[in-house]
Chain A
């Protein structure tokens, strides 16, 4: 016998109605605020432009990367303090997606459908931005300067999407060419992240290096990265690799170098720009050593493992304190993002954000007074090559190429170079060991860049 085989109106209907009302209430509470009005394009008024982005401010990808959007915002604050671009001040909304594509999808729709942003600028990540590429393109919202070196952003199917940093394959080719020229005949081993980042980087290396010289190919999984990469390092050592090429995130760089040092293995490291920023990797080397039971002195010495490593950079590194760009960047952070400067100082991530912010300002200026989404894209494709940015090489934008920088300079980290000084300490600086070089993601050769290297303009915003 059932305890109750029929139900009065009370339970079922009331709870159902209550449930549905609850949903209704929840959504009405969050009903959209009035959008921008009286303007040529969504998100643009006669005196404002609102743009948005999704970035990881929390979660495993956040350390370091959470500095980029605030650094970009410092550029916008600076420009706004000088009257904005064509009289319009920039409102930048960056939301935390925790590097989860499902969150990116929701938050990007919030930015586009509810907050009515003019463009998505400086959003971070390959998996996250892939998730919203189709949506942004179907809504005709520019997806500008994606913070990822995936080879996938220059796709005729997605005209609204533009990459910015050098594709990982370009980095791999430039570093591969350096290995071929400077470590000829040596055995090379790879240790790469087991995803597009690693695979695209390997693609570049393999184009330059003779396949017989590559003796070991090791990988690690970013999602489960928890301890030293001892197995991979031991395999590289037993294969006799004298040069080890790393496509690693900063934590993985540290987790590869420490077990290698522990077994007395000292190969020549060649590290992708992603995992070689000394003010980011240095503290990780120290803290991992301390957590592993090392003394304070050992921890300090561990940061020195970066000494002698080869990497590449596409703008002047923070240790070159006399470089005019570095001076401008530092002043900008001190004046417009003092709390960020106190926390992180000028490091690879804040520099990256500033350079990206500069790029967007240049694009807005090129698009002119009558700002529209399609006008902005046309301006980037037409005059992107002439934008003044901290990058060594010009941006390579055109109507068919949506990659940004396709060139870099090879850098050697060295304890004899001027150090990079940040609030967290003094870290190994770098010196250039190659001219600025250019190439592309295809089979094009690595060539010396012979053009001019830009200097900061006297006035960032023209007051025309």
Chain B
């Protein structure tokens, strides 16, 4: 086994770092990483203020939505401008169940995933016949068409005011913001573990095979349509869970929370984080949550009027996108990976690793073309 592939680094023979190697079994490895992450986030949330905890919870929920999108675009090559609307489907499902039934909220969240995934199936089946901008156009239409439906049947969906949601009471003396953040963090970690395993499984390989060449994939025995629909359904399910969490964070579910710009921002944040990466989605989510706040304080610092500061967030988002795409075409995660390799290279003088398929140096291969996450 070990001799088959080219060696990752020359570290294999020299480094003390080798002793820290993680297990190769995917589930075990991902669980260990998730537990490490949980430990760090526990220290972070318990040392910060309730408001910061609330923001960390928001970051976690956007990570879920972004990870689903990253899988869809990076691993399967499909573009969706409708994931904000899938979030709305999940959020409304959860809120309707909260309003009319007395279920456990975990069941309600599962139902949110289920409903969004089912909607993903409905949208995904025709979407498999479309590509590129046509696919983006169709998903965009979905994002546009959904909010008026909620306004039309306002007695069911609560109209303008929407439906209120309640977070289950926190056990003990934990403050409600920290408790909510933990619900969302656990949801995000479970989602990431599941997706990371999926990507390394047979399904992940077929996703990538279909992305790279549909004809070759079908010759290899992969059912192309089914694979694409599956990726769409998984991505929608992730958005559904994120939508449910957004409903919990906000305390209410109404159409104003799911504007078209949400879907577009999700796509942009996913590209910033690193298309196809899962870890990179943390960067995307941090930017989603903080960029507008930073721009507000920046405009306050420079004493800009409300008119100018209105566009500052959008301008900064655009500038960050351009800078990141120039400096690190593979997104923030790709850039960090490149930097880390360079540092290791300087420390251990390893030879460049060449990606066999593209012939490019390993660290210059876009994440979405490499097998890495």
Q: Is the CB of B162 within 8 A of A127?
A: yes
- A215 to B24 alpha-carbon distance, docked (Å): 73
- A194 to B309 alpha-carbon distance, docked (Å): 31
B129, CB-defined interface residue at 8 Å: no
What per-residue 1/0 map shows which CB atoms of A90-133 lie under 8 Å from chain B?
00000110011111111001100110000000000011101110
Interface positions, chain B 32-49, Cβ under 8 Å from A, are 33, 36-37, 40-41, 44, 48-49
Q: Is the CB of B41 within 8 A of A195?
A: no
Q: Is the CB of A27 within 8 A of B162?
A: no
**Number of B residues contacting the other chain (C-beta, 8 Å)?**
79
Q: Is the CB of B51 within 8 A of A19?
A: no
A150, CB-defined interface residue at 8 Å: yes
Q: Cβ of A57: which chain B residues have Cβ within 8 Å of it?
A: 306, 309-310
Q: Is the CB of A3 within 8 A of B355?
A: yes
Residue from B40, B54, B249, B341 in contact with A10 in the complex, judged by beta carbons closer than 8 Å: B341
Q: Is the CB of B251 within 8 A of A223?
A: no
Q: Cβ of B317: which chain A residues have Cβ within 8 Å of it?
A: none
Q: Is the CB of A105 within 8 A of B5?
A: no
A262, CB-defined interface residue at 8 Å: no
Known A-B contacts A131-B250, A132-B251; the reply to A11 vs B161 at CB < 8 A is: no
A37, CB-defined interface residue at 8 Å: no
Known A-B contacts A9-B20, A19-B283, A196-B161; the reply to A114 vs B49 at CB < 8 A is: yes
Task: In the complex, identify which listed stretch (A28-36, A203-211, A275-283) lies at the interface while the others stay far away.
Answer: A28-36
Q: Cβ of B279: which chain A residues have Cβ within 8 Å of it?
A: 12, 15-16, 19
Q: Is the CB of A101 within 8 A of B256?
A: yes
Residue from A5, A12, A23, A196 in contact with B160 in the complex, judged by beta carbons closer than 8 Å: A196
Most buried by B among A7, A12, A17, A103: A12
What per-residue 1/0 map shows which CB atoms of A147-179 lie under 8 Å from chain B?
000101000000000000000000000000000
- A353 to B9 alpha-carbon distance, docked (Å): 66
Main secondary structure, interface of B, reads helix
Q: Cβ of B147: which chain A residues have Cβ within 8 Å of it?
A: 223
Q: Is the CB of A96 within 8 A of B310?
A: yes
Q: Is the CB of A9 within 8 A of B54?
A: no
Interface positions, chain B 1-51, Cβ under 8 Å from A, are 1-2, 4-5, 8-9, 11-12, 17-18, 20-22, 24, 29, 33, 36-37, 40-41, 44, 48-51
Known A-B contacts A4-B372, A130-B162; the reply to A31 vs B44 at CB < 8 A is: no
A374, CB-defined interface residue at 8 Å: no
Known A-B contacts A3-B356, A8-B11; the reply to A224 vs B250 at CB < 8 A is: no
Main secondary structure, interface of A, reads helix
Q: Is the CB of A106 within 8 A of B256?
A: no
Q: Is the CB of A109 within 8 A of B151?
A: no
B108, CB-defined interface residue at 8 Å: no
A1, CB-defined interface residue at 8 Å: yes
B225, CB-defined interface residue at 8 Å: no
Interface positions, chain B 152-180, Cβ under 8 Å from A, are 152, 154, 159-162, 164, 166, 176-177
Q: Cβ of A18: which chain B residues have Cβ within 8 Å of it?
A: 336
- A95 to B310 alpha-carbon distance, docked (Å): 11
Known A-B contacts A10-B340, A127-B162, A224-B148; the reply to A113 vs B59 at CB < 8 A is: no
A13, CB-defined interface residue at 8 Å: yes
- A66 to B305 alpha-carbon distance, docked (Å): 12
- A5 to B21 alpha-carbon distance, docked (Å): 13
Known A-B contacts A4-B371, A12-B22, A96-B310; the reply to A113 vs B296 at CB < 8 A is: no
Residue from A10, A19, A28, A127 in contact with B282 in the complex, judged by beta carbons closer than 8 Å: A19
Query: Would you give the shortest CB distance from B328 to chain A, in whole angstroms?
Result: 13
Q: Cβ of A4: which chain B residues have Cβ within 8 Å of it?
A: 5, 8, 371-372
Q: Which residue of A lies closest to B41 (CB)?
A: A20
Residue from B9, B59, B251, B356 in contact with A105 in the complex, judged by beta carbons closer than 8 Å: B251
Q: Cβ of B37: which chain A residues have Cβ within 8 Å of it?
A: 16, 19-20
- A132 to B161 alpha-carbon distance, docked (Å): 11
Q: Is the CB of B251 within 8 A of A114?
A: no
What per-residue 1/0 map shows which CB atoms of B220-259 lie under 8 Å from chain A?
0000000000000000000000000010011110111101
Q: Cβ of A62: which chain B residues have Cβ within 8 Å of it?
A: 310
Q: Is the CB of B24 within 8 A of A5?
A: yes
Known A-B contacts A5-B24, A30-B290, A221-B148; the reply to A130 vs B51 at CB < 8 A is: no
Q: Cβ of A15: which chain B residues have Cβ within 8 Å of it?
A: 279-280, 333, 336-337, 340
Interface residues in chain B, defined as those with a beta carbon under 8 Å from any beta carbon in chain A: 1-2, 4-5, 8-9, 11-12, 17-18, 20-22, 24, 29, 33, 36-37, 40-41, 44, 48-52, 54-56, 58-59, 147-148, 151-152, 154, 159-162, 164, 166, 176-177, 246, 249-252, 254-257, 259, 279-280, 282-283, 286, 290, 292-293, 296, 306, 309-311, 333, 336-337, 340-341, 344, 355-357, 370-372
Interface residues in chain A, defined as those with a beta carbon under 8 Å from any beta carbon in chain B: 1-24, 26-28, 30-32, 57-58, 62, 66, 70, 95-96, 99-106, 109-110, 113-114, 126-128, 130-132, 134-135, 138, 150, 152, 194-197, 199, 221, 223-224
7 A-B pairs with the lowest CB-CB distances in the bound complex, closest first:
A58-B310, A113-B51, A105-B250, A195-B160, A20-B40, A19-B282, A131-B252
A-B contact pairs, 10 of them (CB 8 A): A8-B17, A12-B279, A101-B250, A101-B254, A103-B292, A110-B51, A127-B255, A127-B256, A194-B154, A221-B148
